[in-house]
Amino acid sequence: MGAIEPARDVVHFVGVGGIGMSGLARIMVARGAEVSGSDMSQSTVTEGLERIGVPILLGHRREYLPGNATMVVRSAAVPDSNPEVAEAKSRGIPVLRYSKALGMSMEGRKGITVSGTHGKTTTTAMISKLLCDAGLDPTFLVGGLISEEKGNSRAGKGEHYVVEACEYAESFLDLKPRIAVVTNIESDHLDYYGTFKRIKKAFERFISMLPPDGLLVTNADDPECMSAAINAAQCRVETFGIEAPASVRPASLRERRGRYSFDVVAGGRTVRNLGLLVPGRHNVLNALAAAAVGLSVGASPEVIASSLSEFEGVKRRFEIVGRIADTTVVSDYAHHPTEIKAVLACARKTLPRRRIICVFEPHQGSRTRQLMTEFASAFAQADEVVLPDIYYVRDSADEASKVTSRDLEREISAAGTRAVYVPTYEGIVEYLRRNVRRGDVIIAMGAGTIERLPARIVAMLREKFATRRFEAAPRRFVPKLVEQIMARISRRDVDPLPRERMAHAT
């Protein structure tokens, strides 16, 4: 099948509510295709598509497939038995999985892909912003919301097409980039790959597909990335890193409350005065990768520094969703042990001397079981971990029966961190109502529906602290209260407070 020709295509998306699927649907709409979609439930993502004219149908039925459809795109979670997929096949309409359709939409452009076990979304968003700020007018598709207004994709007129490339089910092998970033390589998606060796081989296959005049940008601090580059790269390789020798590295690295500033040294060029708004040492690596790509496509050091210094992050990547009575609520997508460690390290730096309560929804039974030891030690920097039921996805009934959140609760507790199993979101909100204290940090993390929980926690905190007016008052107002009391004393309105009561008031 040839390249997608949006102006002549009528495309139906099955599972359109997924972040990648919805982003590709937006790009096709912008390029002139007629687009429709279906999903099991409504969401802010599907509502956003409806606002740009995409009809969204709830559930899955044969009659949902438009009579003039020329193509069906389905997410990786949609089976062959889906009624719309079955109807398309009966009519002889091509059915493409998302990654295949994405690869076809990139044809004719200079593809820039970002893959790796962690950091894909943030690095893709950084590169996309940088190319926009450099005036290169890229098309991009990020695996997370940049903001409610900007969504996660854009159809530009420039020659570059920036996408997040997922390794699950070897999906990234459907893409043909000119430039590829590989952030790190670790054990994940073992339900598909089975062993780390197979994961590594998939990354090596992906790297080997880069053309001789292409570019691989990879992490010198990750031995598996360096091994894969040596084994498979047939093109120029640029490395980035903090600890290991790298062609793109930070100079004068400084940290204040978890946020880093530095210069970037790349060969004979220097990007000066880069100060990140997004916290965490892992984001230094993400920014170095983005800077390497920026320099390779001709962005000036000045644009790179200003663009990355203005980058505000991606939703659900250490996103502070509320501060109520000095209690901070954070939402994060972390669902792998390495990501959990990075988030908690970031919290300790940016919100020091606070009690950290981590609400973690395990994502997928097979991942929880196969990485149980790593999960158990990942929460060492939390004071307490609250565990709802596992969010089972792609798990067979047999796999789901092999592990529960209670198993993880026992392992985390044995590793030395307090853990408690509270199966439902309703129960968690009530548990926090009883146990949270002013000044605590609550981090809700996971890749499932836990993204809905932080708003409920914030609402609970407003109610909890509203009944304790003095405690809920921000600290900056306390001196004002003392001034008011002293003014009343000077006017002899009230009897002076005993000394010990005045000390308590301050």
- How many CB atoms are located within 10 Å of the residue 233 CB? 19
Q: Which of 295, 279, 286 is nearest to 349 (CA)?
A: 279
Catalytic residue among 34, 117, 120, 123: 120
Among this protein's residues, is 121 annotated catalytic? yes
The overall longest dimension of the chain from CA atoms, in Å, is 91
Is 36 in contact with 54 (CB distance < 8 Å)?
A: yes
Catalytic residue among 87, 164, 204, 339: 164
Among this protein's residues, is 183 annotated catalytic? no
Among this protein's residues, is 120 annotated catalytic? yes
- Read off the tokens for 106: 């990139």
Distance of alpha carbon 175 from alpha carbon 184, whole angstroms: 18
Q: What's the Cα-to-Cα distance from 285 to each of 33, 128, 209, 364, rounded to whole Å?
A: 37, 16, 24, 28
Residue tagged 């210069």 (tokens): 263
Distance of alpha carbon 183 from alpha carbon 143, whole angstroms: 15
Q: Is 387 helix (H, G, I), strand (E, B) or coil?
A: strand
Is 329 in contact with 321 (CB distance < 8 Å)?
A: yes
149 by Cβ neighbours in 10 Å (0-12 / 13-18 / 19+) ranks as: exposed
Is 105 in contact with 9 (CB distance < 8 Å)?
A: no
Q: How many CA atoms lie within 13 A of 391 on its CB side?
A: 13
Strand pairing of 71-74 and 95-97? parallel
By annotation, the residues acting in catalysis are 120-121, 164
